[in-house]
Amino acid sequence: MSDPKGTKAGTAVQKVEIDLVKERAEILRRYRGLLRAIRGTRTPEESRMIRKAFNIAVEAHKEQRRKTGEPYIYHPIAVARICAEEIGLGATSVVAALLHDTVEDTDLTLDDVKDLFGPTVTTIIDGLTKISGMQFGTDSIQAENFRKVLMTLAQDVRVILVKLADRLHNMRTLDSMARDKQLKIASETLFLYAPLAHRLGLYNIKSELEDLSLKFKEPDIYQDLSAKLKKGEAVRKRFISRFILPIREAMDKEGFTYEIKGRPKSVHSIYNKMLKKHVAFEEVYDVFAIRIIIDTRPELEKADCWKVYSIVTDYYQPNPDRLRDWISTPKANGYESLQTTVMSPGGRWVEVQIRSKRMDEVAEMGLAAHYRYKDEEEHSSALDNWLNRIREMLEDTGSNAVDFVRDFKLDLFSDEIVVFTPNGEMRNLPAGATALDFAFDIHSQIGRQCIGAKVNHKLVPLSQPLRSGDQIEIITSKKQQPKEDWLTYAVTAKAKHKIKQALREQKRKLSVVGRDAVQRQLRTWGAKVDNTNIAALIDHFGSKDPTDLYYQVARGKHVLDPLPDLQMKNGRVVLPKLKKTEDERSLEEVVAEIRGGDKNAALTLGDDLKKIDYQLSSCCNPIAGDDVFGFISPDEGIKIHRVNCPNAVQLMSNFAYRIVKARWKGKDTVEFLAGIKFSGIDDVGLVNKITTIISHEHNVNMRAISFESNDGIFAGKVMAYVHDTDHLNSLMDKLKRVRGVRSVERVDH
């Protein structure tokens, strides 16, 4: 008779073995899928290198598992497949992707990688390891990490492409992470990775990163918009096939080889449009776009695209304000396309994109396609210029990392304008750029000495925003020096960076004057001119360092004579500290308590918190029931923000180490100020109905109410005190049911 315990144990061992066998088979299946995804022909040497990288990665990660419980090796294979299939990278990048976590997470060293795979793969993996501070669960200062990302981008652009693939796979598998990690990673993705994908021309990846970020930051909004898009899918398909029928017939007659695709806009771009234009989903007019891709010879591309434009506008009326010619003047990332918006017979606007097969590949694959067309100088120079600009900006190590990233980001995600020098040379600048930005774009010395500008032969101030097609002449003077207020109207990262550099130089010169004044004053007091006495002055005035003390003395902000509390002891300066702010240690203790040990610990709002000050942030006016987080502010204790606050992305990305979890408790006893905006068709007695609902039916105290009526349309806004989000939502639902009211939404201010 067999021992039941032994049988049980045997079954368990057998089951584990079967699972491991299954896993090994699954790993091989995924690896074969990766090999099929690699485009173009591979040399036997490249195939051997990929196989070797795969074997090393499997061995190195064999003990590791992801949060989902799956073998960790699934992740490098998935990243390598994204590199090959969705970015179009070759064998070198695939090898780097397979090994991208080995140096950081396993016993494999960079020297091992160099011996096995050579210097190029090593450079890429080294770059990826340097920016690994941005992996999950770190409290390091994000801005410094972002700066590292850009430094590696300047070394070898494949580093950032593999990193984008890594981030995309992490975003696709983010469900298994805790809510606070999801928010941090989604914010980081929106803040830097989506703009980088955009600038590198990877529009599909950019859209997916944005959509996934929205999915985790605003799950309800994402689900609602996705459902609405899915619901209208069949109607959209019928509409598209009817819309393109006459275009197909005309293009067939002209003998074009072509492909026509209809694609819906991404959820994130629709949501952005709704926010920007304050419209409902149903009113976003270009929810989808038609793309016409023609197969034509390089020398005929431009003429053929315009020919197709002519065919489209023969059947449909174009909107003249919506024509974008990115063929004559490609974007800085090399994107080329002819775009127009036309009116369909059903009264709906439809965006039409016209491009050649090559242009489409560059638009889909971005930078990777650029390097494939490297021999065509004009198509690759724009990107190389941009990479050179990054390298130039990175040369200056003195700038503050947070400012550096914020300025740089402006260049990443803005639309572009095309302007001209007096000689007719074309320059690409971000939309909103000023004459001052143009001066710095020409040369940093011209920017520094710039005193004015002529735009289209008319004298304008330096703060004048430029428009596409403007011709600009810069007026300079050798006596001119950059001023602090220039930073308020410079838009490009290069201009801001150079202005800050010049201001720092001025500060250094001024601090020399201040140093002499401090030394003179110490001698006048009969004190020794040494570090101890200077440290006493720094401590008294609360300066950051000696340079800051000297600078403030030279500016007259710190006055050394007279100093009423000054005492001298044996040549030593004795001074009391100027007024101390709050006790920071207690703040740190509370934060440590929130973060330490218990996973569910959070700053509980609404309790009688004696230890710590917290304030509700005025930028998003959180109310009880909102999804919130705490941000540790050095001067104002902890500030509470809504998760969907306009500033949340930046705070979570740049200052993750200052973020603490927060939740509500005892919310019924408190009233919060909230704003509601509504609009609709004017009707007799409408104001009375609205005020009755607010004050009587919901017992809400109003602080302010305003109404405007114009040609039969009314718009109103009320600031009222509510208990929590349920109270507010119930009130908004009631207002939506009032006859004539078309839209009701919460406002932050």
Whether 586 and 638 have beta carbons less than 8 Å apart is answered as no
- Which amino acid, residue 570? N
Q: How far apart are CA 510 and CA 547, in angstroms?
A: 9
Work out the number of other CB atoms within 10 angstroms of the CB of residue 212: 24
Of 145, 615, 230, 126, nearest to 405 (Cα)? 145
- Which amino acid, residue 418? V
Residue whose token pair is 């490609």 = 330
Q: How far apart are CA 534 and CA 517, in angstroms?
A: 12
SS3 729: helix
SS3 334: coil
* Per annotation, catalytic residue among 23, 46, 104, 325: 104
Q: How far apart are CA 407 and CA 396, in angstroms?
A: 14
Q: How far apart are CA 465 and CA 248, in angstroms?
A: 42
Residue 454: C-alpha distances to residues 470, 473, 496 (Å): 10, 5, 21
Which strands form 458-460's sheet, in the order they lie side by side? 458-460, 450-455, 472-476
Q: How far apart are CA 512 and CA 736, in angstroms?
A: 66
Work out the number of other CB atoms within 10 angstroms of the CB of residue 351: 20
Residue 238: C-alpha distances to residues 267, 288, 341 (Å): 21, 13, 19
In DSSP terms, 676 is beta-bridged to 718, 746
* Per annotation, catalytic residue among 46, 105, 325, 593: 105
Q: How far apart are CA 617 and CA 632, in angstroms?
A: 12
Q: How far apart are CA 438 and CA 393, in angstroms?
A: 16
Work out the number of other CB atoms within 10 angstroms of the CB of residue 316: 19
DSSP-derived secondary structure for 191-217: IIIHHHHHHTT-HHHHHHHHHHHHHHH
In DSSP terms, 720 is beta-bridged to 674, 702
Structure tokens at 193: 């990775």
Angle at 505 between CA 500 and CA 511, to 5 degrees: 120
Whether 162 and 100 have beta carbons less than 8 Å apart is answered as yes
Q: How far apart are CA 172 and CA 191, in angstroms?
A: 17
Going by their DSSP bridges, the two strands 572-574 and 567-569 should be labelled as: antiparallel
- C-alpha 187: how far from its chain's center? 7
241: DSSP letter = H
- C-alpha 333: how far from its chain's center? 17
Per the annotation, the verdict on 104 as an active-site residue is yes
- What does the H/E/C string look like for 335-399? CCCEEEEEECCCCCEEEEEEEEHHHHHHHHHCHHHHHHCCCCHHHHHHHHHHHHHHHHHHCCCCC
Of 239, 262, 258, nearest to 250 (Cα)? 258
Whether 622 and 641 have beta carbons less than 8 Å apart is answered as yes
Work out the number of other CB atoms within 10 angstroms of the CB of residue 606: 14
Which strands form 637-642's sheet, in the order they lie side by side? 603-605, 659-664, 628-633, 637-642, 614-616
Work out the number of other CB atoms within 10 angstroms of the CB of residue 628: 24
Which residues are designated catalytic? Answer: 104-105
